[in-house]
A and B are shown apart, each in its own frame.
Chain A
Amino acid sequence: MARAAVVPSTRLAVEYWLLTYRRNWKGSILTSFLSPVLFLAAMGLGLGSLVDAEVGSGRDLGGLDYLDFLAPGLLAGNAMMLAVNESTYPVLGGFKWYRTYMAMAASPLRGRDILLGHFTYMAFRVTLASFVFLGVMAAFGSVSSPLAVLAPFCAALCGMAFATPTAAFVATRINADNFSTYTRFVIMPMFLFSGIFYPVSQLPIVLEQLAWLTPVWHGVRLCRALSTGSGMNWELAGHLAYLVALILAGTLIASRTFTKRLYE
């Protein structure tokens, strides 16, 4: 029975999530593909033709067609939505319905392996979906810089800046009662008012300043700069730092709430 001591690691927890992903990757890729197709066709092309005719492509959109302005914004917004989905029900399920986390906790895996394992998988999911999104953008002809290949990673950072604090919060919940309120009244407003559909400079100054605080605005700025190749400056380092700081803070808080829930 003597056996070398197990060295637990996050990698082993990630393996579990990848195994479950293998079961439904086709559906998930299809969704990641259809969603941008619909959005870019309806809003980028449909609404965009109107906007371009009225505004005259240029002035307020930084010299961009509406489609080219919208697409990278949606890339970041889409990453946010997906990350929020992945960090609400699946996380509560890990504690409560499927009890995946509890099964892991009984094994040599540590709390941090359980937490980081799931976060790593979420980041993987969001990155993958963001690459599919970028592919659709390219097919719509709205990618104009080779740097765009970095945009999905920034979108994933934007997503994780939401996923980590969301998971931290969800770990304190007994049931899913507040989830739809959270999506409708916290996430949805950010989706609508953070520079995805129009520049935040169009907003009253108070709302504009509020938008600067949201992670998604930073993600949108990064993705737009990378996909268009314009506005490449030090401002981008600030956006990156802001997102990374949020992810670190979210992970730190989540490690507390997860530990409390797992080992109470």
Chain B
Amino acid sequence: MSLIAAWGLTKQFGDFTAVDGIDFEVERGEVFGFLGPNGAGKSSTMRMIGCVSDPTGGALRILGMDPAREGTKIRSHLGVVPQQDNLDEELSVAENLYVYGRYFDLPRAVLRPRIAELLEFVQLSERANDHVEPLSGGMKRRLTIARALISEPEVLLLDEPTTGLDPQARHVVWERLWTLKRQGVTQVLTTHYMDEAEQLCDRLVVMDRGKIVAEGSPRQLIERYSTREVVEVRTHGQVTVMAEALRRLGESPEAQAREELYERVEELPDRVLLYTDQGERLVALLGEVEHESVLVRRSTLEDVFLHLTGRSLVD
């Protein structure tokens, strides 16, 4: 049985529908992601899974229980890393873990060794007795993750786990989350970073305007909704003019059938994307079109999102 399952899950705030009838299942041991831009309904979904917000429609089961009736019991099996840190800045690093463990009624004798172990795990042992306030953003985030683990939860919920962190701090957090994954900890996360989703998620759903628009592993999604490669062409001149030239290129006799050369053309404000399975060959033909620079890269989830919604993930 799935650890978490939702059917037609809906959340309305007055007239506004934040989550619009979504279905998903999370299996034990997997890392499951909600990928989408800000305002897609990811955090609202996460709050419903965390049993701090009642669904206004549909059904939700977590560990086989109904959050409307057994919220307290469900929450005792969850570890939550909220989007906005809510550590107690006046308490020490270790006290933050202690006090949170007490909310789960864990006795001091259990907490003491566990706190030492968790601080070791998130590389904060030397800061155990320091105040939280002067810690860096990355350290606070790691401490919040340690705090979420204090009750040995069955599911770890992470809402935008690395938003606001610098690249180095992000990698440290990712590395810790991989380690947890290897230990078999089920993780549910939201992100608007496609690289984060690709790095961490076994399976994910792409959300847009409260709806799920695609579901699968990062690789499946890219195979299904994008091409193997993307040729990015930049220009000093007008993008629309260049896009037109590129479209004609696809129709030229040398290119033979347009489908063979590329599948789609996407126009962005500063560049044109050509979705293709033969990037190098396409680049060889570009000499005929005036452009500034060209780059061939792998398709990413960003391309999947662009294809599905016509918009970029990060605005």
A109 to B105, CA, bound (A): 10
* B86 x A6 contact (CB < 8 A): no
* A6 x B72 contact (CB < 8 A): yes
Comparing B46-54, B250-258, B300-308, the segment that makes contact with chain A is B46-54
In the complex, what's the smallest C-beta–C-beta distance from B5 to chain A, in angstroms? 19
A16 to B54, CA, bound (A): 26
Set of chain B residues within 8 Å of A98, measured between Cβ atoms: 86, 88-89
- Residue B95 CB within 8 A of the other chain: yes
- Residue A206 CB within 8 A of the other chain: no
Q: Write out, one digit per residue, whether chain A residues 103-135 have a CB within 8 A of any chain B CB (1) or not (0).
A: 111111110000000000000000000000000
Chain A residues numbered 7-41 whose CB sits less than 8 Å from any CB in chain B:
7-9, 12-13, 15-16, 19-20, 23
Residue of B nearest to A13 (CB): B103
Partner among B72, B102, B104 whose Cβ is within 8 Å of the Cβ of A110 = B72
Set of chain B residues within 8 Å of A9, measured between Cβ atoms: 105
Comparing B73-81, B169-177, B267-275, the segment that makes contact with chain A is B73-81
* A20 x B103 contact (CB < 8 A): no
- Residue A59 CB within 8 A of the other chain: no
- Residue A205 CB within 8 A of the other chain: no
Supposing A5-B76, A19-B99 touch, asked if A99 and B52 sit within 8 A by C-beta, the answer is: no
- Residue A263 CB within 8 A of the other chain: yes
- Residue B232 CB within 8 A of the other chain: no
In the complex, what's the smallest C-beta–C-beta distance from B54 to chain A, in angstroms? 7
Set of chain A residues within 8 Å of B78, measured between Cβ atoms: 106
Set of chain B residues within 8 Å of A108, measured between Cβ atoms: 72-73, 75-76, 103-105
* A12 x B91 contact (CB < 8 A): no
Partner among B86, B90, B99, B152 whose Cβ is within 8 Å of the Cβ of A99 = B86
- Residue B100 CB within 8 A of the other chain: yes
A20 to B96, CA, bound (A): 11
Supposing A6-B72, A107-B100, A110-B72 touch, asked if A20 and B105 sit within 8 A by C-beta, the answer is: no
* B99 x A16 contact (CB < 8 A): yes
* A15 x B88 contact (CB < 8 A): no
Supposing A19-B95, A99-B84 touch, asked if A6 and B52 sit within 8 A by C-beta, the answer is: no
* A262 x B86 contact (CB < 8 A): no
Chain A residues numbered 91-109 whose CB sits less than 8 Å from any CB in chain B:
98-100, 102-109
- Residue B154 CB within 8 A of the other chain: yes
A181 to B312, CA, bound (A): 46
Supposing A15-B99, A106-B75 touch, asked if A100 and B82 sit within 8 A by C-beta, the answer is: no
Set of chain A residues within 8 Å of B98, measured between Cβ atoms: 19
Residue from the set A23, A103, A104 with the largest chain B CB neighbour count within 10 Å:
A103
* A103 x B104 contact (CB < 8 A): no
Set of chain B residues within 8 Å of A107, measured between Cβ atoms: 75-76, 100, 103-104, 151
Q: How many A-B residue pairs have CB under 8 A?
A: 81
* A20 x B90 contact (CB < 8 A): yes
A6 to B152, CA, bound (A): 13
- Residue A177 CB within 8 A of the other chain: no
- Residue A1 CB within 8 A of the other chain: yes
* A264 x B53 contact (CB < 8 A): yes
* B91 x A23 contact (CB < 8 A): yes
A73 to B309, CA, bound (A): 68
Supposing A6-B72, A6-B104, A19-B99 touch, asked if A102 and B86 sit within 8 A by C-beta, the answer is: yes
Q: Write out, one digit per residue, whether chain A residues 249-264 have a CB within 8 A of any chain B CB (1) or not (0).
A: 0000000000000111
A56 to B98, CA, bound (A): 60
In the complex, what's the smallest C-beta–C-beta distance from A84 to chain B, in angstroms? 22
Set of chain A residues within 8 Å of B84, measured between Cβ atoms: 99
- Residue A184 CB within 8 A of the other chain: no
Set of chain A residues within 8 Å of B52, measured between Cβ atoms: 102, 105-106, 262-263
Set of chain A residues within 8 Å of B53, measured between Cβ atoms: 263-264
In the complex, what's the smallest C-beta–C-beta distance from B11 to chain A, in angstroms? 10
A13 to B99, CA, bound (A): 9
* A103 x B54 contact (CB < 8 A): no
Q: List 28 A-B contacts (CB under 8 A).
A: A1-B152, A3-B152, A6-B73, A7-B105, A9-B105, A12-B102, A12-B103, A15-B102, A19-B95, A20-B88, A98-B88, A99-B82, A99-B86, A100-B86, A102-B82, A102-B86, A103-B100, A105-B52, A106-B50, A106-B52, A106-B75, A106-B78, A107-B76, A108-B76, A108-B103, A110-B72, A263-B53, A264-B13
With A1-B154, A107-B103, A110-B71 already in contact, 9 other A-B pairs whose C-beta atoms are closer than 8 Å: A3-B152, A7-B105, A16-B103, A23-B90, A23-B91, A99-B86, A103-B82, A107-B104, A263-B53
